[in-house]
Amino acid sequence: MNPGEPIIGVSRQHRSCPPAKALPSMATQTTDMPRPAAKPTSRFHMSDGWFGFTITIPALLIMLVVFIFPLLFSLYTSLHRFEITRPDRTRFIGLENYATILQDSDFQRALGNTLIYVVVAVPIEFAIGLVLALALATITRGRGMFRTLLVIPQMLAPAVMALMWKFMYNDELGIINHLLREFGVNRPPLWLTDTPLALFSIIIVEIWATVPIFVLLLLAGLLSIPQEYYEAAAIDGGTPLAIFRHVTLPLLQPVILVALLIRGMDAFRVFDLVYVLTGGGPALRTDVLSYFVFRTAFTDRDFGLASAAAWIVSIILLVGGLSLIRVMRRR
């Protein structure tokens, strides 16, 4: 083979090979890959919606049976002259039951006693609860123990608690009058049978039982306030009273609103304490709205009047709650 002669085999092999093609880039491969067809999307899936509705059916049925049906039936009863022993004599009388209730002197007395009960009990509970909450917020050791002690009254059923206090109020065997005699009071008061004292004796029990609710709610609100606000106010030279007025109270306002709403509505519908301690006596001086409704329905057997009174109480609670929310928001 001469040096200048081309290598025939290699030359042919080289000529027979097709020209090399450039490899596609990764981006081209990714772009050219077939994509799966996108599923149509919608905000509401029928299967999910039906599943959610299905699992809420038991709760809806319970609410319908326990709450909505009695509510509508009481509205129906309040518009009729209704006798539970003779339902065939039921007849529509419109708003006559409401007019009769509003003109009833016993209802007016019960409304006045209820307002006195709420206006006296709730502010005192709030004041004592706020002082105790401020005291507990400043300590670190023993705070859990004090919380446990405060919850003890809430562990007692209202009827049991009322029986306990009824025995303590006893004229001869009660511990309260016994201590008063030891301190030289010859004629201690008749707590539950004296006309001026009976209602306030129940208020004392109410305060003792429900102050812990205010303490726990307000304490939780105080502990949620960042310490940076207090440090900034102290650096600016604020006094403790000024810090409480301009820092603590504004930041605690939502908790105060919730606490007052809960306790105000609960005190307005008080029943257990009155039923066990005095039964509305003496001379209906401790008769409150809830006990008036109970007595009208199950003693007088007038369910139409009782239902009308219950709806009036509900309307008063609704108006009072909305008014309190509006006043607190303005502040």
Tens-digit pLDDT profile for the chain (331 aa)? 445 444 444 444 444 445 554 444 444 444 455 555 555 555 545 456 677 778 888 888 888 888 888 889 999 999 999 877 777 788 899 999 999 999 999 999 999 999 999 999 999 999 999 999 998 888 877 777 887 888 787 788 889 999 999 999 998 889 999 999 999 988 899 999 998 899 999 999 999 999 989 998 999 999 899 989 888 988 888 888 898 888 999 899 889 988 999 899 999 999 999 999 999 989 899 999 999 999 999 998 889 999 999 999 999 999 988 888 888 777 6
Radius of gyration of the chain (CA): 37
Q: Say which DSSP state 154 is in.
A: G
> Phi, psi at residue 213, to the nearest 5°?
-65, -45
For CA atoms 55, 59, 62, 67, the dihedral sign is negative
The predicted pLDDT at position 15 comes to: 46
Q: Who's near 322: CB < 8 A, 6+ residues apart?
A: none
Longest Cα separation, the chain:
149
190: left (phi over 0), alpha (psi -120 to 50) or beta: beta
Separation of alpha carbons 214 and 222, rounded Å: 12
Contact (Cβ atoms closer than 8 angstroms) between residue 234 and residue 243 = yes
Structure tokens at 15: 């000529």
Q: Domain extents for the chain?
A: 96-330
Domain spanning 96-330, CATH architecture: Orthogonal Bundle (1.10)
Contact (CB, 8 A) for 147 and 217: no
Q: How many helices (H) and strands (E) does the chain have?
A: 16, 2
Looking at residue 1, its pLDDT comes to 46
What pLDDT score was predicted for residue 124? 96
| Closest by CA position to 264, among listed 202, 204, 322 | 322
Res 40: pLDDT: 53
> Are 289 and 255 in contact, with CB atoms under 8 Å apart?
no
The token pair that represents 33 in the structure block: 């890959």
State the amino acid at position 322 in one-letter form: L
Sign of the CA dihedral with 209 first, then 212, 217, and 218 last? positive
Q: What is the pLDDT of residue 39?
A: 53
H/E stretch holding 91 reads: strand 91-92
- Burial class for 273, CB neighbours closer than 10 Å (0-12, 13-18, 19+): buried
Note if the bond before 58 is cis, omega within 30 degrees. Answer: no
